[in-house]
């Protein structure tokens, strides 16, 4: 008879939590593989299926976040490539901004998943870039502004004809007292609210950037300020109501339940959303990557109740950067289970363009680095040769116009060499050249290391020249034209 006793699991060796007695796990033998394709469909990125929400304890009460509901919520992505993204590098030229904007628009698709992008408005170049981007006639991304919390700056927003602008309303005492030199929180809040009033008067929707919120006094400043903004918003039409951008300026935010404020993302969002009453479509998350959590924090913000996640191209942004747009895009598709009109191949074009204008993207950078789906080990190449799904994260050929590749090194072996050759000739299925036919090339590769003492990877150009020499018949058949 099975042991019916209660088992326990321990968290950190401290509290024992009773769980039902252990189940038996007999082997489920199979002659056909179970590839778990409902989660790994391959023509889409791996899907994120939720079985249940997550319960967090806030102010002593259990609160359940309905994660499965995200599939039906109108979550969206916003962009700050030209603002935060540009603060971290020399300025883009106007032509560069127009090209980038156009490609972001293509990525965004007809549903406007990349909904907004923001522009500085201070220089002649800033304003020319904005005008030329709008002249492209794209519906999305919508153009918004970014100004200091200074009343006079609304003239710029009005003159540019923008409906919405971000404005700096720093929320931590580090900023209030040590950066902005206010004498008190009350003085600071009054000053911010004057600017919000000026926005209303100018007919511009203010998006208050709660800078450094993950280091702020939430009960002492953030919630009272948000409450005041909510009351002020009651006096204006819907299209002018205040939006709040939660700025995790230093990357201190944490996505796990149980974390204390101010670092808790679930508690921050819940308090603004449920306690103050800011609806999800007026809450936006803006992260930084100082602790490597930038992408998952953005996705967590969606799940906990922000409708918008603010991103930049390839994460370029102040210091360690912002949530990378490509990461948000693939999490978006994974949550929705659909491309939602996104043209993900634009990510590859954007990466190529960024490299062409001198912005380095690390080779191993997900979705966009030159080697993000390049395998080096021969045994992995062997797997790829048999079925690319074994070592490719999804159909990168279709979704990113980047089929999986192999880099040729001493570890490539005959499998890797054959895979390179077939990819080079563009051969698939029964047309593929066997590794037997690539034996001479594989020998040349190995001799580079074993005989010549080479220490570097073999370039595509070298492989191409050698393929022409050692596989002349195939070259004549597939490359002569």
Partner 1 sequence: MATVKERVIAVTAKVLKIDAGEIGMDSSFAEDLGAESVQSIELVAMFEEEFGIEMDEDEALAVETVATAIAFIAAVCREQGVEIEE
Contacts with partner 1 by CB under 8 A lie at 378, 413-414, 434-440, 442-443, 446
Q: In whole angstroms, what is the distance from residue 410 CA to residue 376 CA?
A: 9
Give whichever of 185 and 443 is closer to partner 1, judged by the CB atom.
443
Q: Name the minimum Å distance from CB 423 to partner 1.
A: 18
Give whichever of 45 and 378 is closer to partner 1, judged by the CB atom.
378
Determine which helix (DSSP H) or strand (DSSP E) holds 192, and give its type and residue range.
helix 185-202
Q: Name the minimum Å distance from CB 450 to partner 1.
A: 10
Q: Name the minimum Å distance from CB 309 to partner 1.
A: 47
Q: Is 326 exposed, middle or buried (0-12, 13-18, 19+ CB in 10 A)?
A: buried
Q: Name the minimum Å distance from CB 418 to partner 1.
A: 9
Q: Name the minimum Å distance from CB 458 to partner 1.
A: 14
Q: Name the minimum Å distance from CB 255 to partner 1.
A: 45
CB neighbours of residue 148 within 10 Å: 11
Give whichever of 28 and 436 is closer to partner 1, judged by the CB atom.
436
CA dist 442 to 295, 381, 456, Å? 40, 13, 16
Give whichever of 6 and 434 is closer to partner 1, judged by the CB atom.
434
Q: Are 218 and 261 in contact (CB under 8 A)?
A: yes
CA dist 262 to 152, 247, 291, 403, Å? 32, 12, 16, 43
Q: Using CA of residue 252, residue 258, residue 261, residue 267, what is the dihedral sign?
A: positive
Give whichever of 370 and 443 is closer to partner 1, judged by the CB atom.
443
Q: Name the minimum Å distance from CB 467 to partner 1.
A: 15
Q: Name the minimum Å distance from CB 379 to partner 1.
A: 10
Q: In whole angstroms, what is the distance from residue 89 CA to residue 85 CA?
A: 8
Q: Are 115 and 74 in contact (CB under 8 A)?
A: no
Rounded to a whole number, what is the largest CA-CA distance in the chain?
A: 82
Give the DSSP per-residue string, 337-368: TS-TT--THHHHHHHHHHHHTT----TT-TTT
Residue 13 Ramachandran class (φ > 0 left, ψ -120 to 50 alpha, else beta): left
Q: Are 433 and 418 in contact (CB under 8 A)?
A: yes
Give whichever of 185 and 432 is closer to partner 1, judged by the CB atom.
432
Ranges of beta strands (E only) in 86-198 are: 114-120, 142-147, 164-168
Q: Name the minimum Å distance from CB 468 to partner 1.
A: 18
Q: Is 124 exposed, middle or buried (0-12, 13-18, 19+ CB in 10 A)?
A: exposed
Give whichever of 253 and 383 is closer to partner 1, judged by the CB atom.
383
Q: Name the minimum Å distance from CB 387 to partner 1.
A: 14
Give whichever of 106 and 437 is closer to partner 1, judged by the CB atom.
437
Give whichever of 88 and 439 is closer to partner 1, judged by the CB atom.
439
Give whichever of 396 and 467 is closer to partner 1, judged by the CB atom.
467
């Amino acid at each position: 008879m099975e042991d019916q006793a209660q088992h326990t699991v321990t968290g950190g060796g401290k509290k024992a939590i009773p769980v039902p007695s252990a189940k038996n796990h007999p082997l489920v033998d199979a002659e056909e593989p179970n590839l778990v394709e409902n989660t790994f469909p391959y023509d889409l990125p791996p899907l994120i299926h939720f079985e249940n929400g997550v319960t967090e304890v806030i102010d002593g009460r259990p609160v359940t976040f309905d994660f499965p509901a995200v599939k039906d919520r109108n979550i969206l992505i916003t962009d700050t490539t030209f603002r935060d993204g540009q603060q971290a590098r020399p300025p883009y030229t106007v032509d560069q901004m127009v090209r980038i904007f156009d490609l972001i628009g293509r990525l965004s698709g007809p549903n406007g998943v990349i909904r907004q992008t923001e522009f500085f408005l201070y220089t002649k170049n800033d304003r020319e870039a904005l005008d030329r981007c709008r002249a492209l006639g794209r519906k999305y991304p919508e153009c918004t502004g970014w100004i200091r919390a200074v009343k006079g700056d609304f003239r710029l927003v009005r003159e540019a004809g923008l409906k919405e602008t971000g404005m700096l309303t720093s929320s931590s005492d580090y900023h209030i007292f040590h950066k902005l030199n206010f004498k008190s929180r009350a003085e600071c809040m009054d000053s911010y609210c004057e600017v919000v009033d000026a926005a209303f008067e100018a007919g511009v929707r203010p998006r208050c950037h709660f800078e450094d919120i993950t280091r702020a006094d939430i009960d002492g400043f953030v919630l009272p300020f948000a409450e005041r903004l909510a009351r002020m918003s009651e006096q204006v039409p819907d299209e002018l109501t205040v939006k709040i951008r939660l700025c995790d300026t230093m990357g201190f935010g944490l996505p796990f339940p149980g974390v204390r404020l101010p670092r808790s993302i679930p508690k921050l969002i819940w308090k603004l959303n449920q306690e103050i009453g800011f609806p999800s479509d007026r809450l936006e998350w803006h992260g930084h990557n100082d602790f490597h959590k930038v992408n998952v924090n953005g996705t967590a913000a969606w799940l906990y109740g922000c409708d918008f996640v603010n991103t930049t191209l390839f994460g370029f942004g102040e210091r360690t950067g912002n949530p990378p747009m490509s990461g948000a895009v693939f999490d978006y598709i994974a949550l929705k289970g659909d491309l939602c009109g996104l043209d993900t191949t634009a990510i590859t074009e954007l990466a190529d363009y960024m490299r062409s204008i001198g912005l380095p993207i690390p080779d191993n950078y997900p979705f966009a680095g030159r080697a993000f789906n390049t395998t080096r080990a021969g045994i992995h190449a062997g797997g790829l040769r048999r079925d690319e799904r074994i070592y490719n994260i999804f159909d990168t050929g279709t979704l990113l116009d980047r089929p999986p590749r192999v880099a040729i090194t001493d570890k490539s072996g005959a499998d890797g060499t054959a895979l390179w050759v077939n990819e080079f000739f563009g051969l698939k299925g029964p047309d593929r050249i066997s590794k037997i036919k690539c034996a001479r090339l594989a020998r040349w590769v190995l001799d580079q290391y074993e005989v010549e003492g080479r220490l570097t990877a073999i370039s595509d150009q070298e492989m191409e020249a050698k393929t022409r020499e050692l596989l002349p018949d195939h070259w004549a058949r597939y490359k002569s034209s």
